């Protein structure tokens, strides 16, 4: 490969990073301005402080989904993983702060088990990730119903103060999300293992030719994703006073949406953690904006689906090539007598 070709690829990569981040940052600013103009209640101090903890949970879930998508896969066990973390974090302690640590250990043990299962089925057996992770999701929900019986429990005071509290006016959940973002960014972007991880996602065939253990990397993505889903579930259990046994259901579509809106390709390759977190903030504020307008829940779901479709269109359609084809057709039609 020539130096000019390498330079063009690096320039394109930098542009992709800035494109995803700038697009989401600008969109969020525009949404806030619209909020002030049309729905002031959506940008009030109380509304923003109430939205940020849930946006932080979505950001962590999105980071986990991003790691899987980077490998050309998808993890549809998000609802079961988050819901099981919520149930274990509330049912094992049963409002006893002394039992919170064992409960968290149990959450991460389940997460590792689910991640290894997904990684083995997708990375080793080569199963379709949609089918494999849907099966795992069913198993996780079986555990949710078996442990909880569908009955919610109240969060412990300790977990509520950690995940739902504030430090100097800033929600603790937001601080936790920023720490997770920093760790994911460093591990993926600043370490040798992280660069190999991205290389495997960009081209499994090339990675295999260079001797990289591509199956191991693809399988490990599901383990790391489950650990992040578990962290988000623990936080959600602390933010919500009495979370339901199906608290994670709302994160299936949104976890994919924030990854796509952040610029990560569904075909695998480079991931953009910062843009993914900003996309989570945008999507959460969008939900807040639509809610302030008094729109029914079904329409809010359609808005999220539309945001996902727009994100796919922005980052996957070759607009320059499409424009050239349209211009060529227009010129041909004009030249035809």
Q: What sign for the dihedral angle of Cα 210, 195, 107, 239?
A: negative
Assigned token pair, 75: 């993890």
Q: DSSP letter at 155? A: P
The SS3 call for residue 32 is: helix
Rounded mean pLDDT of the chain? 85
pLDDT at residue 210, rounded to an integer: 76
| Spatial distance between the Cα atoms of 137 and 129, rounded to a whole number of angstroms | 12
Query: The dihedral of CA 79, 80, 82, 88: what is its sign?
Result: positive
Instruction: Give the domain ranges of the chain.
Output: 18-330
Beta pairing, strands 166-167 & 170-171: antiparallel
DSSP 93: T
Intra-chain end-to-end CA distance of the chain, in Å: 46
Structure confidence at residue 10 as a pLDDT band (50, 70, 90):
very low
d(CA 133, CA 146): 20
What does the pLDDT look like over 12-27, one tens digit per residue?
A: 444 444 477 888 888 8
What is the rounded CA–CA span in Å between residue 259 and residue 18?
A: 15
* Architecture of the domain made up of 18-330: Orthogonal Bundle (1.10)
β partners of residue 171: 166
Give the angle subtended at the CA of 18 by the CAs of 16 and 19, to the nearest 5°: 60
| Dist. CA 147–CA 141, nearest whole Å | 10
pLDDT tens by residue, 245-300: 888 998 998 999 999 888 888 888 888 999 999 999 999 998 888 888 887 766 77
pLDDT in tens, 129-149: 999 999 999 999 999 999 988
**pLDDT tens digits along 146-171:** 998 878 889 999 999 999 999 998 99
pTM given for the model: 0.86
Q: Is the dihedral of CA 58, 63, 67, 70 positive or negative?
A: positive
Percent of residues in the chain assigned helix, strand, coil, to nearest 5:
80, 0, 20
């Amino acid at each position: 490969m020539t130096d000019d070709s390498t330079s063009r690829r690096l320039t394109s990569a930098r542009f992709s990073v800035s494109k995803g981040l700038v697009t989401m940052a600008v969109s969020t600013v525009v949404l806030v301005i619209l909020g002030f103009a049309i729905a002031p209640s959506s940008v009030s101090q109380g509304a923003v402080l109430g939205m940020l903890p849930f946006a932080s949970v979505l950001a962590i879930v999105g980071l986990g989904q991003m790691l899987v998508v980077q490998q050309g896969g998808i993890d549809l066990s998000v609802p079961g993983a988050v819901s099981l973390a919520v149930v274990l974090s509330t049912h094992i302690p049963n409002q006893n702060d002394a039992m919170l640590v064992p409960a968290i250990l149990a959450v991460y043990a389940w997460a590792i088990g689910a991640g290894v299962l997904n990684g083995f089925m997708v990375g080793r057996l080569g199963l379709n990730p949609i089918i494999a992770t849907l099966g795992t999701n069913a198993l996780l929900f079986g555990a949710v119903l078996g442990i909880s019986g569908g009955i919610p429990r109240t969060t412990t005071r300790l977990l509520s103060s950690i995940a739902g509290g504030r430090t100097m006016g800033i929600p603790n959940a937001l601080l936790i999300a920023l720490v997770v973002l920093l760790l994911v960014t460093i591990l993926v972007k600043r370490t040798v293992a992280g660069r190999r991880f991205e290389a495997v996602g960009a081209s499994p065939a090339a990675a295999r030719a260079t001797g990289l253990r591509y199956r191991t990397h693809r399988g490990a993505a599901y383990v790391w994703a489950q650990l992040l889903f578990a962290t988000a579930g623990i936080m959600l259990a602390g933010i919500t006073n009495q979370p339901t046994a199906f608290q994670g259901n709302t994160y299936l579509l949104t976890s994919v949406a924030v990854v796509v809106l952040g610029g990560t390709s569904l075909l695998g390759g480079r991931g953009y953690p910062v843009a993914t977190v900003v996309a989570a903030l945008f999507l959460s504020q969008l939900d807040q904006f639509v809610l302030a307008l008094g729109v029914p829940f079904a329409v809010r779901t359609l808005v999220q689906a539309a945001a996902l479709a727009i994100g796919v269109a922005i980052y996957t359609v070759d607009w320059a090539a499409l424009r050239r084809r349209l211009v060529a057709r227009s010129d041909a039609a004009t030249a035809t007598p």
